[in-house]
Structure 1
Amino acid sequence: MDVNVTTPFKYPHKYNNSGSVIGEFQYYNIASNYNAWCDYKVINTSSEKADENSHYNTTNDNSSTNSSTNTGQSTAKVIDHVYFGNISVDIFSDALGFLLIFIACLNLAKVNNRFKYGSVTTLFALILHIVILALPFFLNGIVLCNTALVLGLAYLGSNIITTFMFSSGLLKMCTDICCRDERKWCKMTWYVTFVLQILVTFVFWIGSDFNMLLAVGRFFEGVLVFMVIVFWIILKRTYYYLERTWLNYEKQN
């Protein structure tokens, strides 16, 4: 969950608007990561050559992206220009969360292999996060959009794998029969958060120009946060067994 604070600092250059049409997926990436915004234009998508008068800018139109004119020509609303805002900082930065998980995985690596693998995926996710934030200082235009999209998908995957490794590693530390219900409910809540994380990401991507979809995305984001809290409340009930497993490994080593 991002809570961004806008700083007075700007990126070293303006966004390089070219003739290439930027897609909604690429735009959401740079909008969410780099505090960017855009305006739109309507283009003629019929087989006939577009009339220059049929191209115009619109900044606040949330209507359908495809329509037909009175002359029978089909049109589509596409992103025209993109603008960088001031650099924003997320006060609940993913980097801090990954750093804490990485430290925990290193300390728990001797307990089971899930934490060893988790430390690798966490480090990969942390590096990806830093690289994505630094991209506007080195890339621009459509190259920035496409690179941020590819790295964003890789970041989403590494985030999911990291949470799986860390969560399953903790559940493997409480294998007692008396923790059976807690393990079951923790697994169920993790799978729900896994689905919600992917759903929220793509809803925000697709809905970058549709306020209704954005509202749906924020609702599911709230459900996602709630399920994460439920997961840790349930896991807290196994604290005694987690501590006992850790102390046993400490004695053995």
Structure 2
Amino acid sequence: MSNTKKSHFTLYFILLAVGFVLIALDMDVKTNIKYPHKYENSSSVTGEFQYYNIDSLYGATCTYKLMDTSSKSTRHPLVGSETNVSSDAVETKVIDKVFFDNIHIDIFNDIVGFICIFVACFSLRKANKRFSLASLSAVSGIILNIVLAVLPFIINGESLCIAGMIIGMVYLACNVLTTFLFCGGLFKMCPQVCCRDERKWGKMTWFVSFALQILTTFVFWLGSDFGALYTLGQVLEVIMIIDIIGFFIIMKRTLPYLEKSYIKSFNFSSTNS
């Protein structure tokens, strides 16, 4: 019985690791399927704002135009009077029109990642309450992911930009909250003094992954129109995955204590029932 429970916990531990990597790693592949309608450009917001949001969430292309950004005249103060001097014309390239690209599919699907985390956390809910909260947060992540995916089929234009940005920010917060809760649940399962260093380094690696996830999201958002930033985002993403793997390597050192805590909580709940 004890060995069976240990093997079960090892499976849940692996599911948490796989789920964490999947929700952190994004790799979109463009399909041959097009959206049923064209994107409705809005004059109320800038082309850059529309393009960054649509491209980072769904994939987009754009056209550019040159805009005259020079003032008609430059005012130079003189003694007791002012004079107007014509300035040289200055043109800046800005985004003109935004178009939907073909539908993109995430190979490392976030929904699969959240399902892995939900299964593991729901199975570990008897260990401590943080896993119960993490399972609820994972369900919220699944719902938000689906809402984001169907949004361009329901609304368009400026409404899609604003709604996508707001829901995307909530979705990012849900990602961070889910990992925070189940990592905290693991830390509470190994309160022994001998696990102090693992808890300390585990917290540090989680914080690094949290910071990198926020930074990578922002860099990819801006990188929609800047190739160098997009490449930087890919580098940061690789570092984040290495950091997450490092977290689970550190926590693997506490595996005997985690297994013991899981078996104890299972036996305790069985006795009470």
Q: What band does the TM-score fall into relative to the shorter chain?
A: 0.7 to 0.9
Runs of 4+ in 1 over 6 A off after TM superposition: none
**Counterpart code for 2:223:** G
**Counterpart code for 1:72:** D
Do 1:114 and 1:165's aligned partners in 2 also have CA atoms closer than 8 Å? yes
Shift of 1:25: 5.0
In the other structure, the counterpart of 1:38 is 62
Q: Which moved more, 1:191-200 or 1:82-91?
A: 82-91
**Counterpart code for 2:193:** I
User: Residue by residue, what CA displacement relative to the aligned partner does 1:108-136 show, whole Å, maximum 9, x if unpaired?
Assistant: 12211211221222221211111001111
| Unaligned 5+ runs, structure 1 | 49-69
Q: Which of 95, 106, 124 pairs up with 1:108?
A: 124
Do 1:42 and 1:75's aligned partners in 2 also have CA atoms closer than 8 Å? yes
Q: Which of 8, 17, 20 pairs up with 2:32?
A: 8
Q: Which moved more, 1:137-146 or 1:33-42?
A: 33-42
Aligned length: 233
User: Residue by residue, what CA displacement relative to the aligned partner does 1:124-168 show, whole Å, maximum 9, x if unpaired?
Assistant: 121111100111110111211111111111111111111100111
Q: Rg bigger for which structure?
A: 2
Do 1:6 and 1:86's aligned partners in 2 also have CA atoms closer than 8 Å? yes
Q: Distance in 2 between matches of 1:110 and 1:9?
A: 44
- Tell me the C-alpha RMSD between the 2 structures: 2.0
Q: Distance in 1 between matches of 2:147 and 2:50?
A: 16
Q: Distance in 2 between matches of 1:174 and 1:113?
A: 15
Q: Which of 175, 183, 192 pairs up with 2:191?
A: 175
After TM superposition, the score normalised by the length of structure 2 is 0.79
Q: Are the structure 2 counterparts of residues 108 and 210 from structure 1 closer, same or farther at C-alpha, using a change threshold of 3 Å?
A: same
Residue 219 in structure 1 maps to residue 235 in structure 2: yes
Q: Which moved more, 1:38-47 or 1:108-117?
A: 38-47
After TM superposition, the score normalised by the length of structure 1 is 0.85
Q: What does 1:104-253 correspond to in 2, within 5 Å?
A: 104-253=120-269
Q: Distance in 2 between matches of 1:135 and 1:157?
A: 19
User: Residue by residue, what CA displacement relative to the aligned partner does 1:53-95 show, whole Å, maximum 9, x if unpaired?
Assistant: xxxxxxxxxxxxxxxxx94345443321111122121121011
Do 1:22 and 1:142's aligned partners in 2 also have CA atoms closer than 8 Å? no
